[in-house]
Amino acid sequence: MLTEVKNQFKVSLLSIKYSILRSMINKSSFLFSVLLMFISNASFLVQWIIILSVSDGADLSMKQILFLWGIMAGAYGLSNIIFCGVHYLPQYIISGKLDAYLVQPKSVLISIATSQTSMSAFGDLLYGYAVVLIASPSVITFLYASLFIITGAIIYACFVTIMYSLLFFSINFRDLVTTLTRIPTSFGTYPENIFSGVLKVLLYTIFPIGFIVYLPVRVLLTNNILIALIVILFTIFMVVFAFVMFNMGLKRYSSTNLMNARV
C-alpha cells in the first residue's frame, strides 16, 4: 500500500513537472501571460480602494480586503498550476477521451488532474503572495498564507471535480455545472460580512467559499489555530468526497453512458 502511494506521488510530480515545462516552452508568451494576469488582478483592487475611501468602512479594512484577494488569487492560481486537468473533465467524459486514462495503472482522477497547467495561473499565485505580504509582511503570515493557498487550491479542485462528476450521470448538466464551478471565484473576492441568510449558508456548504477564503482570512486576522485545523479537516473531507463522487461516476462511464456520450 505504502509503495503504491509512493509510486503514485512520483508519477504525479512528474506529470505536474512536464505540464509546467510544456507551458513554458514559449518563454515570452509565458512571461507575458503571467504579467498580464498579475496586472489584471491588481486592477480589481482599485474598486475597493475607492469604496473604502468614500465610505466609513466600519466593518471592513484594506488589510482584510488584501488578505481576501491574496488567498483567493493564490488558491485559484495554485489549483490551476497543479490541478488544471479537472477543468477538462467535461471534454473527456462527453467525447470519450477518458478511455486513455482508464488503461493506466495509476489513479485516473489524479492522472487527469495533473495532466494540464495554466500559464496565467502563475500570475495569480505570485499576485496572491504579493498582496498577502503587503498586508502583513511577516514569516507567520507567509506560513499561514502558504497553508491556506494549498488547502484552497485542493478544495477548489475537489469542488470542480465533484461538479463535473455529475456529467457521468447526465451530460445535460454540462451548462449548469460549468456555471456553478465559476461561483467560488465570483463570490470569493467579496467580504464575508456583506452576505447573510441563506446565501451565507450556501457559501459554507454547497459552495465551499467559506473554507477556501473566509475562514483563512479570519485566521490571518486573529491567529486562531482552531479555525486553521477546521480548514485542514474540511480539505481532507473534500478530497475523500471528490474521489467517491468521481469513482461512482466512473462506473457509469464504463456502462452504456459511454456510448451515449460519444453520440
- Here the cell at position 241 is 468526497
Q: What is the mean pLDDT of residues 60-89?
A: 91
For residues 261 and 162, give the distance between their C-alpha atoms in angstroms, rounded to a whole number.
18
What are the tens digits of pLDDT across the range 211-236? 999 999 999 999 999 999 999 999 99
Angle at 225 between CA 229 and CA 204, to 5 degrees: 50
Residue 251: per-residue pLDDT: 86
Q: If you write DSSP's letter for every residue of 103-160 in order, what string do you get?
A: TSSS-HHHHHHTS---STHHHHHHHHHHHHHHH--SHHHHHHHHHHHHHHHHHHHHHH
Enumerate the domain spans of the chain.
2-262
pLDDT the model gives residue 170 = 85
Determine the residue type at 139.
V
Question: What is the spatial distance between Cα 238 and Cα 159, in angstroms, rounded to a whole number?
Answer: 7
pLDDT given at position 55: 54
Instruction: Classify the C-alpha dihedral 147-149-152-157 as positive or negative.
Output: negative
Residue 21 reports pLDDT greater than 90: no
Long-range contacts of 175-180 (CB under 8 A, 24+ apart): 177/90, 178/90, 180/207
Lowest mean pLDDT among 12-21, 52-61, 243-252: 52-61
pLDDT over threshold 50, residue 260? no
Q: Is the pLDDT of residue 255 over 50?
A: no
Mean pLDDT throughout 38-53? 62
With b meaning 16 or more CB within 10 Å and e meaning fewer, what string describes 215-225? bbbbbbeeeee
Res 259 pLDDT > 70: no
pLDDT at 45: 64
The mean predicted confidence, pLDDT, of the chain is 83
Contacting residues for 127 by C-beta, under 8 A, at least 6 apart: 37, 38, 41, 42, 70, 73, 74, 77
